[in-house]
């Protein structure tokens, strides 16, 4: 039986949860808006001499003969730009927090996020939107620093609980952020600019309300950290914190082959999942002419499916073990990817049952993800010695970050080239095959063998 959590530790973990949750909510507000946001800028300033005009010309040269195909491509590139910068800068912020303290770095990154969202409010031209994503990507070190803060205040026995607090905050943030963004988009302070009218550099845009909510959350988050967040890394411990931050590129140096294979399977799965995640709002526009508000309800449904699966996973793990739960999740995901792939690319061709089939497929993918991700983290923890758990879990998270670089741009290029979602989702189903093969070959963790 573990010792009760001290009040100060509980309070700090609560602040870590709130910081991560609000950060992810603010970041994910833009997700359901992408197709309509990009369409707005293409139509309002997509002429030669502007950034989006140059991108427009390049997309047409590549075969982008419709505004829809261009929005898919630009959405994938923007998502990958953000994820690539996050992948590069997150370890840098983590390392700086080892030397300067967690609280100081959190205030810097949160202030940077607030600045990016403030710019988005007044982004009348597309290049300013790109700048906001650049700043957000470079400042996306909050998760790494918050995870390090959770590790500071927990010992090895409680480390999993600390990481779970961060994981739950991320999951809930990705549920509520898109819902807030989708619903807030129906309130507009500025109407779309008519074609042929010169667009000023700064000014309100049709998405300024969601941007204002994201900026407000970032400012509140910043003030909460400044006022209440304690420094979790004592000065005398900072000199000993110069070790290199764990990265997916360190995977070959991990002693446990089971950890290496689990991290690889996680990378493969998340490439498929993030590719789906990036194209889902474009697919709903093509199939059902969904507005951002409609997408909000879809993300709420997906989040409910994921949360239900995470609750059910605890019972399944007791009966089957972590490894078999991961395999079950990947089998469900493979079927679900095929279900969505087989929906014809237009509603006229798909028929009346297409929306129900679509919700079934997406719900199953979210359900599968709710089974897979917690069990993958648990497997890495179970396969690792106590002295290596933090490093190995850091490598696992780095693999997931790399997947967010690979998945969106790959899915966007497939969607752009073929003009439909079919190969995006067939590709997701095919990726399940090597992932399942790798997980099947994993040994049963020793703790689960002893229980059996």
Give residue-wise pLDDT tens across range 1-40.
Answer: 444 557 778 888 899 999 999 999 998 999 999 999 988 8
| Topology classification of domain 249-441 | Growth Hormone; Chain: A; (1.20.1250)
Report which of 372, 26, 15 is spatially closest to residue 176, judged by C-alpha positions: 26
Nearest alpha carbon to residue 246 among 416, 428, 393: 393
CA–CA gap between residue 75 and residue 82 (Å, rounded) = 11
Largest CA distance in the chain: 72
Q: Please provide the DSSP assignment of 261-278 as one string.
A: HHHHHHHHHHHHHHHHHH
| Cα 384 to Cα 388: distance, rounded to the nearest angstrom | 6
**What pLDDT shows up at residue 203?**
87
CB within 8 A of 296, min separation 6: which ones?
32, 178, 179, 180, 181, 182, 183
Going by CATH, does the domain composed of 8-230 fall within 1.20.1250.20?
yes
Check residue 192 and give its pLDDT: 58
pLDDT value for 186: 87
The pLDDT value recorded for residue 243 is 55
Taking the chain (452 residues) in runs of 10, the rounded mean pLDDT of each run is 63 90 92 90 77 83 84 91 89 84 92 95 92 91 83 71 78 91 85 62 89 96 93 75 67 86 95 94 92 93 91 87 94 97 77 87 94 88 77 83 93 93 96 96 74 53
Judged by DSSP in three states, 193 sits in coil
Nearest C-alpha neighbor of 282 from the set 76, 44, 60 = 76
Q: What is the pLDDT of residue 393?
A: 79
Task: Please tell me the distance from the alpha carbon of residue 264 to that of residue 270, in angstroms, as a whole number.
Answer: 10
386 secondary structure, DSSP code: G
Contact criterion met (CB below 8 Å) for 423 and 414: yes
Give the number of residues written for the chain. Answer: 452
**Separation CA 361–CA 338 (nearest Å):** 8
Structure tokens at 327: 């395999």
Kindly list the distances between the CA atom of residue 76 and the CA atoms of 25, 410, 425, in Å, as whole numbers in the listed order.
20, 8, 15
Q: Residue 57: which residues within 8 A CB-CB, separation 6 or more?
A: 48
Burial readout 41-52 (b: 16 or more C-beta within 10 A, e: otherwise): bbebbbeeebbb
Residues 6+ positions from 356 with CB-CB distance below 8 Å = none
Query: Residue 441 CB: number of other CB atoms within 10 A?
Result: 12
Could you please report the per-residue DSSP string of 417-444?
HHSSSHHHHHHHHHHHHHHHHHHHTSPP
Provide the sign of the torsion angle of the four alpha carbons 263, 265, 268, 270, taken in this order.
Answer: negative
Hey, what are 4's tokens?
């009760």
Q: According to the model, what pLDDT value does residue 98 have?
A: 84
In whole angstroms, give the CA distance from residue 110 to residue 90.
13
Q: How far apart are CA 18 and CA 281, in angstroms?
A: 27
Q: Give residue 165's Cα distance to chain centre.
A: 16
Is-contact 411 279, C-beta < 8 A? Answer: yes
Q: What is the pTM of this model?
A: 0.87
Sign, CA dihedral 7-143-208-203, equals positive
pLDDT tens-digit readout, 34-79: 999 988 888 888 665 788 888 888 888 888 778 888 899 999 999 9
Looking at residue 351, its pLDDT comes to 65
Helices marked H in 153-288:
159-184, 208-228, 235-238, 257-288
Specify the domain boundaries for CATH 1.20.1250.20 within the chain: 8-230, 249-441
């Amino acid at each position: 039986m573990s010792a009760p959590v001290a009040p100060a530790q509980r309070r700090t973990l609560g602040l870590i949860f709130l910081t991560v949750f609000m950060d992810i909510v603010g970041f994910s507000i833009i997700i359901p808006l992408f197709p309509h946001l990009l369409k707005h800028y293409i139509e309002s300033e997509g002429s030669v001499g502007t950034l989006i005009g140059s991108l427009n010309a390049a997309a047409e040269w590549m075969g982008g003969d419709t505004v829809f195909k261009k929005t898919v491509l630009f959405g994938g590139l923007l998502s990958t730009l953000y994820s690539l910068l996050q992948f590069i800068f997150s370890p840098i912020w983590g390392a700086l927090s080892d030397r300067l303290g967690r609280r100081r770095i959190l205030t810097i990154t949160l202030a940077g996020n607030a600045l990016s969202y403030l710019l988005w409010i007044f982004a009348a031209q597309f290049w300013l939107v790109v700048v906001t994503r650049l700043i957000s990507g470079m400042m996306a070190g909050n998760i790494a620093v918050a995870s390090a803060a959770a590790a500071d205040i927990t010992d090895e026995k409680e480390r999993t609980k600390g990481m779970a607090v961060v994981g739950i905050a991320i999951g809930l943030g990705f549920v509520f952020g898109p819902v807030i963004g989708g619903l807030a988009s129906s309130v507009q302070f500025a109407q779309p600019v008519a074609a042929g009218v010169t667009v000023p550099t700064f000014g309100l845009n049709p998405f300024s309300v969601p941007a204002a909510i994201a900026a407000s959350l970032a400012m509140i988050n910043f003030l909460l950290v400044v006022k209440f967040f304690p420094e979790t890394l004592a000065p005398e411990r900072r000199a000993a914190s110069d070790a290199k931050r764990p990265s997916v590129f360190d995977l070959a140096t991990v002693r446990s082959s089971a950890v290496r294979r689990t991290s690889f399977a996680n990378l493969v799965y998340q490439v498929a999942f993030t590719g789906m995640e990036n194209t889902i709002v474009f697919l709903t526009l093509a199939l059902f002419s969904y507005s951002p508000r409609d997408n909000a309800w879809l993300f709420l449904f997906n989040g409910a499916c994921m949360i239900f699966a995470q609750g059910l996973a605890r019972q399944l793990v007791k009966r089957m073990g972590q490894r078999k739960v991961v395999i079950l999740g990947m089998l469900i995901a493979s079927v679900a990817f095929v279900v969505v792939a087989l929906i014809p690319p237009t509603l006229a061709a798909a028929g009346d049952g297409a929306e129900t089939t679509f919700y079934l497929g997406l719900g199953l993918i979210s359900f599968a993800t709710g089974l897979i991700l917690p069990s993958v983290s648990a497997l890495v923890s179970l396969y690792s010695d106590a002295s290596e758990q933090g490093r190995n879990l850091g490598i696992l998270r780095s693999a997931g970050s790399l997947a967010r670089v690979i998945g969106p741009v790959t899915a966007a290029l497939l969607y752009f080239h073929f003009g439909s979602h079919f190969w995006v989702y067939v590709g997701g189903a095919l990726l399940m095959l090597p992932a399942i093969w790798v997980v099947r070959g994993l040994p049963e963790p020793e703790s689960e063998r002893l229980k059996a």
